[in-house]
Structure 1
Amino acid sequence: MLILLPPSEGKTPADAGSPVDLAELSFPELTAARQEVAVALAAVSAQDDALSQLGVGASLAHEVSRNTRLAHEPAAPAHSIYTGVLFDALGYQSLTPTQKSKADAAVVVVSGLWGAVRFADRIPAYRLSMSAGLPGLGKLASFWKPKLAAAVSGPAAGHLLVDCRSSTYAAAWAPEPERTVAVNVFTERDGTRKVVSHFAKHTRGELARHLLTRRGKAPETPAQLAKAAGEKWTVELVPGTPRKPHTLNIILAN
C-alpha cells in the first residue's frame, strides 16, 4: 500500500541541520528535474513581482524570499517540514517506532518542487504550488507529469494506491486506475452532501493515520480499503473504469 498525499501549503522550517542533498532523496531519477525547478524558482523568487508570479499574498514574502536560498537552508525530514490540517491529523510524531517506519515506506508526498518525496527525505521549507508556472518550465503539473510517471510508476507497481491528493496535485501524475482509489470526503445533512475543504483535509489525514496504525495486514484491494475505512466512518466504494480510478467516499454526519 502507498498513500499519496499533497504537501501542506505552509511549511515549518528546520531550526538547524545541513542543506538538502538532492542525490539522497527518494526517486533519484528526478534529481535533474528537481535542480531545474529549484533554479527556476530561485530566479522567480528574486524578482520584484515574485509574489504575483507565485500566486501568494504579501504576508508570505518571507517564505518566497527563502526560495532564493534553498541550497543553503537547513533541511529536515519531510514529515516535520509539512504541517497543517492533514499532517496534524496524521500525527507522525505520536506514532510508534514501528508505525513511523511503516509511514516512511508507505507515504509519498507529491510536490511542485521535488516531484515526489517520502517522509524520511530531508528537505528545506519552501513555497511553491503545483498550480504555479515557472519561466522555461511552464505549468508544474505538466512539467512533472511524464517525469513522475517514469520515476514513481515502477516503485508503485503492485501496490494499492490510496490517493489523498487534491486535484491540483493529482494532475501531476495519474497512476494505474485499476489499483488506485481516490478519496473524497463529504458532510451529509438531511440527505444532502457537501464537500468541505477543511474537513476533507482533516479526514484524509485521519484515514492515513488509521491505515498506518490499525492492526492486521494493509489493504491490498479497493474492497479491502473500503472495509478498513468502514471501521471508522460511513463509506461507499464507487468502482473505477479502465481509465478512471476507484473512488472511496467518506461520509461525515453533520
Structure 2
Amino acid sequence: MLVLLPPSETKSPDGDGGPLDLAALSAPELTPVRERLVDALVTLAADAPAARTALGLSPGQDAELARNAALRTSSTAPAVERYTGVLYDALGVRTMTRAQRARADRRLAVGSALFGVVRAGDPIPAYRLSAGSALPGLPGLRALWRPVLGPALTGTGELVVDLRSGAYQALAPVPGAVTVDVLSERADGSRTVVSHANKAHKGRVARLLATTTAEPDGVVRLRALLRRAGLHVEHDGGTALTLVLPPS
C-alpha cells in the first residue's frame, strides 16, 4: 500500500543530513525534471522581485528565497520530518514505535512540486515551491510532471491511497487510486465539507494506514480497516471513500 500525502508550505528548518543528492531519491526516473526545477529555483532566488512574483511571496518572506538559493548546499532531513503543519502533527511520526516507523517509511510518500514525489525517508532540504507556481522560462509544473510522474505513481503495483490536495493530484492523477473526502454531519442530518480540520483528519487516517499490520488490497478492505478503527466511512462504489464526522 502506498499512501500519498500532500506537502506543506511550512517546513522544518532542522536537518543533519548531507547536501541534496537527487540521484539518491526514490523514483530516479524523475531526476531530469528535478534537476531542471532545482536549477531554476536556485537561479531565480538571485532575483528577489522576480522570485517573489513567481512564488507568491511578500518581502517579509525572503527567508524562503534564501532556502531556495541554498538548495544544493543546505542540510537535509527525511521528507516525512521535513514537512510540518496540521496534517503532519496528526500523523505524528516522531511518536511512532520503531516497528510503526518502519512500516510508515515503506508506505508513505509525499507529493511535491519540486521533487514530484518523495518517499518518507528520502533526504530533502527545506524549499519553497507550490503546485500553482509558474517559473520563468519553464513550462507549467503540470506539463513538466505529468508525463513522468504519472507512470512513476501508477507503476508501483501497490494499492494507492491518494490523500493529496487537488492541486497536487492535478500534477499527476493516479487512475484507480482510493481517495478520502471528509464531511461533517450537522444535527439536522445535513452535511458540509470540512475545511479547517480536513488536514488533521487526513493526518489521522494516514497514521492509521501507515502503522497498521494489515495489508488491504482494495477499497473494500480499506473501508473495513477504517471502520474497525471506529471511523464512520461510507463507500458508494468506485474508489472514493467518505469519512463522515459526527455532530459536535
Q: TM-score range by the shorter chain?
A: over 0.9
Partner deviation per Cα, 1:4-58 (whole Å, 9 max, x = no partner):
1111111002244311111100001111110100111122232223212111333
Deviations along 1:175-230, one digit per CA (max 9) or x if unpaired, are 232xx111111111122222233311111110011122334x22111011111112
Deviations 1:216-249 (A, max 9, x none): x221110111111122221111322xxxxx1111
1:154 aligns with 2:155: yes
Look up the match of 1:49. 50
Q: 1:86 to 1:225 in 2, by over 3 A?
A: same
- Identity among equivalent pairs (%): 43
The answer (yes or no) to whether the contact 1:27–1:152 under 8 Å persists in 2 is no
Q: Describe the superposition over 1:43-74 as per-residue Cα deviations: whole angstroms up to 9, x where unpaired.
A: 22322232121113333220122101100111
Which of the residues 212, 215, 222 maps onto 1:214? Answer: 212
Q: 1:225 aligns to what? A: 222
Picking from 233, 244, 247, the partner of 1:235 is 233
* 1:191-202 matches, cutoff 5 A: 191-202=189-200
- 2:245 corresponding residue in structure 1: 252
Structure 1 residue runs without a partner (length 5+): 241-245
Structure 2: distance between partners of 1:21 and 1:235:
41
TM-score of the aligned structures, taking structure 1 as reference length: 0.91
Confirm or deny: 8 A CA contact 1:45 1:68 kept in the other structure: yes
Contact kept, 8 Å, 1:141 with 1:169, in 2: the verdict is no
Quote the RMSD (CA, aligned, Å). 1.5
Tell me the equivalent position of 1:135.
136
The aligned residue for residue 243 of structure 1 is: none
Which residue of structure 2 aligns with residue 165 of structure 1? Answer: 164
Q: Which residue number corresponds to residue 5 of structure 2?
A: 5
| In structure 2, C-alpha distance between the alignment counterparts of 1:235 and 1:15, rounded to whole Å | 37
Identify the residue that residue 100 of structure 2 maps to in structure 1: 99
Q: Which amino acid in 1 is paired with 2:236?
A: V
1:150 Cα offset (Å): 2.9
Q: SS of the residue aligned with 1:249?
A: strand
Paired residue type of 1:168: A
Which residue number corresponds to residue 65 of structure 1?
Answer: 66
Q: Is the 8 A contact 2:3 2:209 kept in 1?
A: no
TM-score, normalised to structure 2's length? Answer: 0.93
Q: Which runs of 5+ in 2 are unaligned?
A: none
Distance 1:184 1:173 in 2: 19
Give the conservation status (yes or no) of the 8 Å contact 2:3–2:210. Answer: no
Aligned to 2:115: 114
Moved over 6 A (4+): none
